[in-house]
Amino acid sequence: MSNKSIFALIAVAVLGLVAWNSFYIVLQTERAVLLQFGKVAQADVPPGLHVKIPYVNQVRKFDGRLLTLDAPTQRFLTLEKKAVMVDAFAKWRIANANQYYTATSGIKQVADERLARRLEAGLRDQFGKRTLHEVVSGQRDELMASITKSLNALAQKELGIEVIDVRVKSIDLPREVNRSVFERMISERAREAREHRAKGKELAEGIRADADRQRRVLLAEAYREAEEIRGEGDAKSTAIYAKAFGLDKEFYSFYRSLQAYRESFSSKEDVLVLTPDNEFFRYMESMKP
């Protein structure tokens, strides 16, 4: 191969390399700035195919999608000086590519670090204005809205970043106070249990006393009714006996003697010690031949 051919190939290769480096593409999901000798020549390059001067211009591309800053868990004090551990995150995206590049050199880690410091300061300020109840439930939405608004204004001004949303994932008590809180909760539940047991015991005593009273009343009424019935039966029995005695005195006496014999000798172990001429054996004596 001759020298001319070699030079021609080299020239073609150089021209191809120059042509290749003269074009660049910016995607829809990207933000870009065009640099000229390290300085920003075009602040916000739109998506599409573009031309640049090789070795003179440089293109820096950044992720233009919605990004997440997961802030580390921080310890804050509420208005009543109670410590809480807060875990939060922020959603952000690049609003001004030129300012973003100037402030962070286009490095996401640098942007996250600076945004995290401002988020921490905003959270500390907002938690310091509210009580524990307000930050947990009462004014939580208002707190996040305030932080988002203030952080967005600061980030756009300093970093060229638009903060879309700030959310608090969890609010916990520090480990050193968790045990004391749990012990206090246990003691409160134990006190409530004792109160419920005392009320239950009091109600049980009342129910038991009322049942005993009703039992005594029922027994007294039953005894009264039984005595009345027994009295009526005795009265009827006496009337029948009297009537029978009036009809035949001798037969009544004989019948009563038989009843006396039956009751006296109801058991084989019964023993009577009487004289043979005792009136008790009058009818037995009369039956002798």
Note the pLDDT of residue 257: 74
Going residue by residue through the chain, which has 289 residues, state the pLDDT in tens, using 9 for 90 and above: 566 666 666 666 655 565 567 788 888 888 888 888 878 888 888 888 888 887 788 888 888 899 999 988 888 888 888 888 888 999 999 998 888 988 988 888 999 999 999 999 988 988 888 887 787 776 778 888 888 999 999 999 989 999 999 988 888 877 766 666 667 778 888 888 888 898 988 899 889 988 988 999 998 899 888 988 988 888 888 787 777 767 767 777 777 777 777 777 666 676 766 666 666 666 665 554 4
Query: How many whole angstroms separate alpha carbon 52 and alpha carbon 32?
Result: 13
pLDDT of residue 178: 60
Sequence-ordered strand ranges (E) for the chain: 23-26, 30-36, 39-45, 48-51, 57-63, 67-70, 74-77, 83-94, 161-172
CATH T-level fold of 67-172: Tetrahydropterin Synthase; Chain A (3.30.479)
Q: What is the pLDDT of residue 287?
A: 52
Q: In the prediction, which pLDDT does 174 show? A: 76
* Per-residue confidence (pLDDT) for residue 132, from 0 to 100: 79
Q: How far apart are CA 174 and CA 163, in angstroms?
A: 29
Six-digit token pair at 171? Answer: 């609010």
Q: Decide: 34 and 57 in contact? Cβ < 8 Å.
A: yes
Radius of gyration, alpha carbons of the chain: 55
pLDDT recorded at residue 8: 61
Q: What pLDDT, on a 0 to 100 scale, did the predictor assign at position 254?
A: 72
DSSP category for residue 134: I
Amino acid at 94: I
pLDDT of residue 91: 93
The structure tokens 């129910």 sit at 207
CA 116, 117, 122, 127 torsion-angle sign: positive
What are the tokens at 33?
């700035």
DSSP per position, 127-162:
HHTS-HHIIIIISHHHHHHHHHHHHHHHHHHHTSEE
Q: Say how far residue 219 (Cα) sits from the centre of its chain.
A: 52
Q: What stretch(es) of the chain map to CATH 3.30.479.30?
A: 67-172
SS3 63: strand
Interacting residues of 28 by C-beta distance below 8 A, sequence separation 6+: 47, 64
What pLDDT, on the 0 to 100 scale, is given for residue 115? 92
